[in-house]
Chains A and B, each alone.
Chain A
Amino acid sequence: MNTLEVSNLKKTFRLSKKQQKIEKTNIKLKVAVNDLSFTAYPGEIFGLLGPNGAGKTTCLRAISTLIKPDEGDIIVGGSSVKNDSISVRGKIGFLTSELKLEDHFTPNYLYTYFSRLHGIEEEIIEERKIVFFEKFGIEEFKEVKVGDLSTGMKQKVSIAISLVHNPDFIIFDEPTNGLDVLTARSVMDYLIELKESGKTVILSTHILSVVDKLCDRVGIIINGKMKICDTLENVLKTSPNNDLEEIFFDLVKEEELSGGVN
């Protein structure tokens, strides 16, 4: 029941003239993900890998219900993103660089605000807030406006806010992007904590060393299609040198030769 199951997901976007110009193409429809399937289980970190534009973010946006699948479905803890999106949104904690916090507000205000929108009782809000703010070192900055915080602190506040409702499913898109080594490390440590507490974690990244360190299972998406999806151990076995980077490059090269990668 606590699995996150992506089944035959297909999502197509209509390209605006501006986007056609940027991508130097005359094609009006772009298939972002095609027939994508994978399952993430509780107590594991599922790494979603792929080059830029491979379809990782589209997949995560579909899981978070920001966009609707054209075909296929995503079942999050028994709820379908197609038929029960509100329930799905209550079960997931989603973090992506696309989601911003309003500069005018303080971490303290935003934490309470988003907690209330998740229907959490005031007492629990305060309890959780103390724990999170202590853990991420936000306490000192809780009354500083988000616009005045450093990039690292903003990211920590975003993580805290994405988890206000203690979700069972955590979806983080490039969570260490733009962070210094220390902050990145604390984020990675926290992901391990979440996994150990039995949460289902999906991590999208293009930093292969992060995948090596954190992920239990890996899915590599190239050109909107799942090229490989298995435990990290099994994936590494497909390379003579047990090198994820080598595997990744081989898959990209293979797709290029078949004319798939732009």
Chain B
Amino acid sequence: MTMRSVLLALGFVAIVVWPFLVDNTFYTHIGVSVWMFTILALSMNLMLRMGQLSLAHGAIMGLGAYTAALLMLRLDVPFLPAFICSGLVGALVAAITGPVMLRVKGVYFVLLTFAFGEIIVLMFIDWVSLFGGHNGIFGVPRAELFGFVLRDRSYSYLFALGLAALAYLILRWIYSTETGAVIDALHDDEDLARSLGVNALGYRIGIFIVSGFMAGIAGGFYASYFTFVTPESFTFWTAVDALVMNILGGIALPLGAVIGAVMLVPLPELLRDSQEYQILFYGLILIFFLKFLPDGVVGVIKSLSTDSSRSLGKRFMKILAWRQVK
């Protein structure tokens, strides 16, 4: 056993048990939010890795949330099938819209997904009889797994952590297989990839479907955890949050999405008393990262672990050079 694996094991145990030791519902709630948004950030990571920034992911998460809420409330579907359906709806939306939206790239795709997401949110607001308008849907039953209702927040925490861990492992697995090579190739040089025989659109759709499923699952969890669903939670700002998490953490590894969620999600909760500074703080952090750490926290870890002195030195020189130019 190396020092590293001991530390990793200890860290893992700490992440699992702290809510039971601290026993503070507010902190536990932040923990639940962190892992829930980790799922969304990971689903966004899939899109970013193949070079397609989607602003519809907040809305897709919303579709998942409303799906779970409506199935459980209106049709008395038990939690687990409703929860899985929330993912399936996310996947279905991706499968239907993907063949159209994924034909365009860059800023056009961003705008298209933005418009699509806003249409979904408007649908939540204006189709009052089904989605309940601005008031949304209240009284969604809590998650119930094999007859055990997750009433206690600590158990919701474990559930969210388990889902996030699963999503993380799935992403790690995808990136390590042949699909990962295609995803990188689509990002780096699509013409080259296609000239060698890759069905680029097909792969993009496939990845969008997996990503949509994960966003839908995040929504399904949301519905049962908060027990209410409102349209404001799923605007394009939610997608922007997921994007910023990836930028802060670093897009290169799925771990970046996790780190980004851990950094970003607690902010609004912890800064609740000074809301006027919250956006400012958020903006400053973002500027700092984009300017000095464009590869996010993961980029820093990477440069520390591989020939540290050279790349760190280089980075430092870069910062100095930038100062001098100023």
Partners in one complex: no
Interface residues of A (CB under 8 A from B): none
Interface residues of B (CB under 8 A from A): none
